Amino acid sequence: MVVIGEHRHTQVKIDLQAIKHNINEEMTRKDPLTELWAVVKANGYGHGIIQVAQAAKQAGATGFCVAILDEALALRAAGITEPILVLGITEPEYAPLIAEKNISVAVGSQAWLDQAAPILAANQVRTPLHVHLALDTGMGRIGFQTPAELAVAVKTLSVAGSPFDFEGIFTHFATADQADDTYFTHQLTNWKALIAVVPELPKYVHVSNSATSLWHQACNGNMIRFGVALYGLNPSGTELSAPYHLQPALSLTAELSFVKKLARGKSISYGATYTATEDEWIGTVPIGYADGYERRLQGFHVLVDGQFCEIVGRVCMDQMMVRLPHEVAVGSKVTLVGSDGDNSISLQSVADYCGTIHYEIACGLAPRLPRVYTE
C-alpha cells in the first residue's frame, strides 16, 4: 500500500494546460502525416501517468509509449484504447496477455520471437501480437545490431500465418541532445544500413525522441515519441535552445510547519553541519529525501515570500530547515520548484545543484507527495 500525504501541506502541482501547450507546439511544427505518441513511462516522468495520458490525448496524441508492461496495463485499465508501445523488453511468457490487451512490444532478438511463438500457439491466441523491432544503432541498450540478424527476424515476421504483426521498427539516438552531431550521424548511418534489408517497411518507422524531433526534425519518420519535452523540460538541459517555448508543467510547494529564532552558535540537523553565526530565523519545511527531495540539496534554496532562502543543515528524511530573512508566519507558502513573485526555481536548477539531470529529479519525486492537477 502506498500512503499519500494528503494531510500534509506539501504537494506536487501539475498544470495540464502546460502539457497541452507543449504538445500543441510540436503538433504545429511536425509533418501533418507524422503521429505524436506521448511517452508516459515512470508515472509520466513523475507527473502522473493516467492524468498526463488523458491530457495528451485531448491535445492530439494518437498513441502512448511506456517502459514496462504494467504501465501499459494501467493505461488500458483506465480506459485508454489508443495504441500503446512497451519500449523495454518484456518476457515472452506474457505474449498472450500482451496480445489480448492489444498492446505493442519492442523486440530486439530472434530468440524472443522463437520463444514467444509457441507460447502464443499453446494458448490458442488468435489476435496477432504487435511487434516493433528495436535496432541498436549505437545506444547499446537493446536491439538488432547487424543487417544479417535483422533480416532473419523480418523473414520470421513475414511468414504466412505468423502469430506476429510486424507493426513497427525503431531506434534510439544517444546524443540527439548535444551540439556535436558526430555520433548522431554515426547512428543515422547505421540506421540506414539496417533498414536497407527490410523489403517492406512496417506501419510505424520511428527514431525521434523529444531531442531528435526538436533538433533533427528531418529524421522524424512517421511517428514521434514525445517524452521529456511533453512536460516542458528541455532534453538538452542548457546546451541547446528549444525551437519553441517549453512550458514546465510541474511545481513543488509546501508550507512552513514550524518557525523559531535560533541563537548564534546553535546548530541544525544531523551531524551539526550548520551553525548559526548570528541570531537567525529558521523555518522547518515538511519534506525530505523520502519524498525525493535530495539530501544533497543542503546549501540550495527555496522561495518564501518571493525571496530565496538557503537550506541549512542536512535534509532529513521527512523535514528540512531553511534560513528566513525575518520572522515568517507558520503556514507560509514555500516554493521548492516553481515561481513566487519575481523569482523562480526550475527543475533544471535543482538538477544542476545535484549534479544530475532534471529527468532524475522529476522521476524521483515520491508517491507520498500528492499530485494536484489544474488546467
Annotated binding residue 317: yes
- Taking each continuous run of H as one helix and of E as one strand, the counts in the chain are 11, 20
13 membership: H or E segment, kind and range: strand 11-15
In 3D space, the residue among 173, 220, 369, 176 whose CA is nearest the CA of residue 290 turns out to be: 369
Cα 337 from Cα 348, distance rounded (Å): 10
DSSP string, 164-204: EEEEEEE---SSTTSS--HHHHHHHHHHHHHHTT-SS--SE
Tally of CB atoms within 10 A around 239: 11
Cα 261 from Cα 282, distance rounded (Å): 6
Tally of CB atoms within 10 A around 258: 12
The residues annotated as belonging to the active site are: 41, 270
118 membership: H or E segment, kind and range: helix 110-122
Cα 169 from Cα 104, distance rounded (Å): 11
Annotated binding residue 141: yes
- Binding residue ranges: 141, 317
- Binding residue ranges for substrate: 141, 317
